[in-house]
Structure 1
Amino acid sequence: METVRNTQAEWGLDRYVTMITEGLGVTDTPSYTDITSPAIAYIELAEPFPLFPNRPAALLWDEAYGWAAAIESASGQDWVMVAYLGMEILPHPDMVVAFARRLQRGNHADGPFPPEFTACDDLHDRLAAYASSRH
């Protein structure tokens, strides 16, 4: 993806993440987006995953691997990926919510290894489409 900032894509990524946080009911927890290459997003979850009850949990997204579920490392300095959604680079927000819900129920059937996606040349356009849904 280009390193040029695209306002519509920035707004789209923000709106996309907001749709996910609203679906999960975590609008009061921290989230973060950055459209610069590589584009990333972070959503802190309110509850840990049952398989890792003592570790804070989050959803992480980047333009190379898509969505992943992560737990905070023992040092509290890094995130350890425990599952990847792996469907596509930018799945519908409802699919991301369903992924998180499965993990919150203790179902870790999604793979722990990053998927191999081909470059998504239209990612900015796909993100920009979410910006128009904000009004």
Structure 2
Amino acid sequence: MSERDGLGAAARGLRQYLLAVAAKLDAPAWFCEVDVPAGAYVALERRLARFPEHEVALLWDERDGWSAAVESSTGDEVIVLAYLGEDVLPAPEAVVEFVTGLYGEKYPGRPDPPDFRRPGTGDGFDERLAAYAGNPVGRA
């Protein structure tokens, strides 16, 4: 499917998936873009000890999956610190582990984008998203 509208099963599934991740992280805010390429931003409450002056967020896109980032000093852009790198749609619990590692002593994930897929290709991605559409607890 090359286009998604805000009412389709894939768009609803993406929102449900992000809601599940945000709820597990107790995130104060999040938003998503459902059109191709789909993407999302999840704000995190805590700042990182190594970047105390910068807001921290999780980013998600349908090419590289989840990444952790800090906002620049001006707040105009984000700087990616690491990519989760497991799957474009990992279980919400895997995202929580990634964030826990980010705030811990270890350096989680990987430094380079995993480039899982090309947005808009017919590779079953929209069907994976749609599986979350009817599942209020966020598990497909």
Equivalent residue for 1:17?
18
CA distance in 2, matches of 1:7, 1:77: 31
| RMSD of aligned Cα (Å) | 1.7
Amino-acid identity (%): 36
Equivalent residue for 2:81?
82
CA contact (8 A) 1:66 1:88 kept: yes
> Structure 2: which 5+ residue stretches go unaligned?
none
Alignment of 1:1-135 (within 5 A): 2-5=2-5, 7-26=8-27, 29-119=28-118, 121-134=123-136
CA distance in 2, matches of 1:54, 1:71: 9
Q: Using the TM superposition, give the Cα deviation of residue 118 of structure 1 relative to its aligned residue in structure 2, in angstroms.
A: 3.5
**Residue by residue, what CA displacement relative to the aligned partner does 1:60-115 show, whole Å, maximum 9, x if unpaired?**
00011110000001221000000100111111111111111111224223222111
> Structure 1: which 5+ residue stretches go unaligned?
none
Alignment TM-score, normalising by the size of structure 1: 0.90
- Higher mean Cα deviation, 77-86 or 123-132? 123-132
Alignment TM-score, normalising by the size of structure 2: 0.87
CA contact (8 A) 2:64 2:117 kept: no
Shift >3 Å, 4+ stretches: none
| Counterpart amino acid of residue 21 in structure 1 | A
Classify 1:100/1:109 alpha carbon distance in 2 versus 1 (closer, same or farther; 3 Å).
closer
**Residue by residue, what CA displacement relative to the aligned partner does 1:19-77 show, whole Å, maximum 9, x if unpaired?**
11111122xx1200111010001100011122212110000000111100000012210
Q: How many residues align?
A: 133
